[in-house]
Chains A and B, each alone.
Chain A
């Protein structure tokens, strides 16, 4: 059973388009983290959201944490080719802070 459902799994869009990636669970998370991984590199942390209803912006990226802390979304405005990569959500389950639970990832390709 996948504790964190991430969708879509694959996404191919044109430069300039907007997109949203979702990360959902039936469990409560004490926090959710978003990472981006480029080919040949390790994942890099983009943001951590901790408070229910929290919204964080990172340039063209907007992250939301659901009010009930069971879901999160990543919205990218006016995608650029440099946004191409694997986006991963990961969270600490409210009942167990020892181990990070990972979503399956969203492989994003932004075409020129």
Chain B
């Protein structure tokens, strides 16, 4: 079982819908990440939160809006997505602060935009 929990596992949404992806970890990690992954490709970094503050935004379109309500939770709000946004969205956490920290990933949300 992964220590990073993501919900929902699958999501189908239309281009006019608003939905949210949720991520939770209780390892005391202070850095949390959103990645987007296409089939058989490496994860692409979207956002990094460090100590609950947004520290990296990889020029992600504004139709993706991250939120970090507290040190254990990370949300990704979705609005007016395009079909090409269909992908596996992965949340990860790390001890942060520690040099060379490995990432702990959740099992992702498989998103399909119709």
Q: Which residues of A does B touch, CB under 8 Å?
A: 30-31, 33, 40-45, 48, 50, 86, 88, 90, 92, 97-100, 102-105, 107
In the bound complex, CA of A33 to CA of B100 (Å): 9
In the bound complex, CA of A48 to CA of B43 (Å): 18
Contact of A42 among B42, B55, B106 (CB under 8 A): B106
Q: Which residues of B does A touch, CB under 8 Å?
A: 2, 4, 40-43, 45, 48, 55-56, 90, 92, 99-100, 102-108, 110
> Are A45 and B104 touching (Cβ within 8 A)?
yes
Contact of B41 among A33, A45, A104 (CB under 8 A): A104
A-B CB pair tally, cutoff 8 Å: 56
A102 and B43 in contact (CB under 8 A), knowing A42-B4, A42-B90, A92-B100? yes
Contact of B103 among A97, A100, A103, A104 (CB under 8 A): A100
User: A45 — which chain B residues lie within 8 A by C-beta?
Assistant: 102-104
User: B99 — which chain A residues lie within 8 A by C-beta?
Assistant: 30-31, 92, 97
With A30-B99, A33-B100 known, 19 other A-B pairs at CB within 8 A are A31-B100, A40-B110, A41-B107, A41-B108, A42-B2, A42-B107, A88-B42, A90-B42, A92-B99, A92-B100, A97-B99, A97-B100, A98-B48, A98-B55, A99-B48, A100-B103, A104-B41, A104-B42, A107-B40
Tell me the nearest residue of chain A to B92, going by C-beta: A42
